Amino acid sequence: MIRIQVPATSANLGSGFDSLGIALTLYNQIWMEEDDRLDISCKDSVVVPTDESNLIYWAVKQLYQECGRKLPGLKLIQENNIPLARGLGSSSACIVAGILGANRLLGNPFSRSDLVNLAAKIEGHPDNTSPAIEGGLVVSAMEGERIYSVSVPVSDKLQFAVFIPPFELKTEMARSVLPETYSRTDAVYNLSRSALMTASLFSGKLENLRVAVGDRIHQPYRSGLIDHCDTVFRMSYELGSLGTYISGSGPTIIAMVPTESMKDFIAHAETHMKEKGISGWQVRFLGVDSEGAQVSLD
């Protein structure tokens, strides 16, 4: 049996809509091997499909078909630590686990670059799948069906305070509220800030992050779908966030905080949320995963 470890990811980072993503130190674990039947189970209490609609199984099947091979059956065990439909790349983690696991079962016929392309093709965009595979901060662009991406390390001066609410927000809903067109002014606004975000995270110029998270493409339209969004943003800056943004399509909100002050930030955030009557939210700090998804024998 093989084991696949896939990190959570945070897409967009405010200004980098559908192009920036970062891998975080929160992981799903998946065990799989070929079998003569389909056998899907979980090590936790998360309810997942146990038939052919299971996204990991579906991704495995896609790669087998790419190789012209028939999948006889699969034994699949999941450990789900990435919360579902929270803007932390749970669906991308399933797709990446499926295609990386299938690739190993078939003797690694595809390169890492091939898998990046296939994952983005399945997901529809690369901002979560690319960092899940490559690790670090990843900048991606699609040209036809090919993904051009670069993974860079992130300054260790920074950690990520992750505010996870007790409700889901489906990507389809979050995309449905976005306008069809944008002004040139708004496009330039985001382009300049997404470039600033990439350079600042890589170089450690953390004083730029408050400007770099600025966005006119998606966050102004999605914030109304997230209860307490404005309150959490305002509170995070009062407590010392260097830059706060909606993770992916939401509803998770992430604050970038200096490493040395992270523990105090989390403690004060939890106290403030309780005082403001914001209940059920998890607040945790995560670092940057620099390795990406890993496959090993178990």
pLDDT at 298: 79
**Identity at 21, one-letter amino acid code:** G
pLDDT at 153: 93
Please, what's the b/e burial string for 248-263 (b: 16 or more CB within 10 A of its CB; e: otherwise)? Answer: bbbbbbbbbbeeeebe
Per-residue pLDDT tens digits of the chain, which is 298 residues long: 999 999 999 999 999 999 999 999 999 999 999 999 999 999 998 889 999 999 999 999 999 999 999 998 999 999 999 999 999 999 999 999 999 999 999 999 999 999 999 999 988 889 999 999 999 999 999 998 799 999 999 999 999 999 999 999 998 999 999 999 999 999 999 999 999 999 999 999 999 999 999 999 999 999 999 999 999 999 999 999 999 999 999 999 999 999 999 999 999 999 999 999 999 999 999 999 999 999 999 7
Distance CA 135, CA 152 (A): 8
Is there a contact between 253 and 14 (Cβ–Cβ < 8 Å)?
no
What is the per-residue DSSP string for 198-224?
HHHHHHT-GGGHHHHT--SSSHHHHGG
Q: Name beta bridge partners: 25.
A: none
pLDDT at 231: 96
Size (the chain), residues:
298
pLDDT at 145: 79
How many CB atoms lie under 10 A from the CB of residue 172?
8
How many CB atoms lie under 10 A from the CB of residue 224?
10
> What are the domain boundaries of the chain?
2-153+289-297, 158-286
**Topology, domain 2-153+289-297:** Ribosomal Protein S5; domain 2 (3.30.230)
pLDDT at 192: 97
Level-2 CATH architecture, domain 158-286: 2-Layer Sandwich (3.30)
